[in-house]
Structure 1
Amino acid sequence: MSVKIAANRQYVQIVNRSADQLNTLKKPPEGWLSVMRKALGMSGAQVAKRVGVSRNAIYQAERNERDGAITINQMQKLAEAMGGRFVYAIIPEHGHVEDVVRSQAHRAAELLVQRANAHMALEQQSLSQSQTKRRIDALTEDLIREMPADFWEPK
């Protein structure tokens, strides 16, 4: 096994383990900063004092989190000020890494087979539905195995 394949497998395992642990975790509508602060029974002024900023800066940070405009560094500092730890991850929307790869390969295979089938139809040689499905499935597996350089390019 090549070093590249071994490294890729390790990356896949890291992401898949994280996905398994976090797949049901959803950000609360009011944001983690506000929820954590309220869960601890801390006021904005108390958090502000721990961080060395104004109370308004804390409320602004909470608004920024809700709006998606807060930095990772700010989240980390505020989490630590509340005795917490800021954690972030990027995981597949659904399932595991392999599911994302398979979905991309399947989309690409469908497009390739549909294009070829359109040309074949002009010569009255188009594939039946079952032949088309088998060809898409086979091409999907080929694309997953080979991962061509343009695999992630928009088709």
Structure 2
Amino acid sequence: MRTNKQIILEQLDQKSSLLVEAMKNPVSENGWVFSIRKGLNMTLEQLGNKLGISKQGVRSIEESETNGSISIKSLKEVAKVLDMQLVYGFVPNKGSFSSYVEDKSKELAKRIVMRTHQTMQLENQGNREIIIQKAIEDLAFEIKQEMRRSLWD
């Protein structure tokens, strides 16, 4: 039976999969505001009038988008006056949230099992490699199922 945490993780994967497709065709280096304005054949002055700012203000918005300093609020305002929606999100570098959590679970499980193994070796009670790997796999599965907060320490 799936837990609420697992269901939420699956939903994040579903939502982010749409963003993965969008990432394959990134906007030009000039940014969305510039690209859309040019694509609509709109002048700086025309967009400025819609926003209630000068054309220099629009240029400033476009520049702040390209250098990464624009606020989400500003992007939402531009989208609103253009009768559009701003869409943003996060996409894990590992491909999916599930893969991300699985990798983190394995890392944590390995740290825990190896710490215990080292202590046992000091007491001449070390385990064989196959037993260690099985312990890591089992613990990683348990950690992922529980979605322990210690994953993020």
Answer whether TM exceeds 0.5 for this pair: yes
- In the other structure, the counterpart of 2:150 is 151
**How far apart, in 2, do the equivalents of 1:40 and 1:60 lie?**
19
Structure number with higher relative contact order (C-alpha < 8 Å, ≥ 6 residues apart): 2
- In the other structure, the counterpart of 2:22 is 25
Q: Is the 8 A contact 2:10 2:98 kept in 1?
A: no
Residues 50-74 of structure 1, C-alpha deviations (whole Å, 9 max, x = no match)? 1110111111111212222222221
> Is the alpha carbon distance of 1:82 and 1:146 closer, same or farther for their aligned partners in structure 2, counting shifts above 3 Å?
closer
- In the other structure, the counterpart of 1:118 is 118
- In the other structure, the counterpart of 1:64 is 64
- In the other structure, the counterpart of 1:107 is 107
Which 4+ runs in 1 deviate beyond 6 A? none
Q: Secondary structure at the match of 1:41?
A: coil
1:139 CA drift (Å): 0.6
Gaps of 5+ in 2: none
Root-mean-square deviation (Å): 2.3
**How far apart, in 2, do the equivalents of 1:16 and 1:114 lie?**
31
Amino acid at match of 1:152: L
**How far apart, in 1, do the equivalents of 2:113 and 2:119 lie?**
10
- In the other structure, the counterpart of 2:55 is 55
Q: Percent sequence identity over matched residues? A: 22
- In the other structure, the counterpart of 2:88 is 88
Q: May I ask how many residue pairs the two structures share in their alignment?
A: 150
Q: Is the 8 A contact 1:117 1:127 kept in 2?
A: yes
Q: Secondary structure at the match of 1:151?
A: helix
> Is the alpha carbon distance of 1:128 and 1:37 closer, same or farther for their aligned partners in structure 2, counting shifts above 3 Å?
farther
| Greater mean deviation of Cα atoms: 57-66 or 9-18 | 9-18
What is the TM-score of this pair, normalised by structure 2?
0.82
Q: Secondary structure at the match of 2:21?
A: coil
**How far apart, in 1, do the equivalents of 2:144 and 2:56 lie?**
51
- In the other structure, the counterpart of 2:11 is 14
- In the other structure, the counterpart of 1:129 is 129
> Is the alpha carbon distance of 1:86 and 1:146 closer, same or farther for their aligned partners in structure 2, counting shifts above 3 Å?
closer
1:151 CA drift (Å): 2.5
Q: Secondary structure at the match of 1:152?
A: helix
Gaps of 5+ in 1: none
Amino acid at match of 1:118: Q
What is the TM-score of this pair, normalised by structure 1?
0.81
Asked if residue 78 in structure 1 is aligned to residue 75 in structure 2, the reply is: no
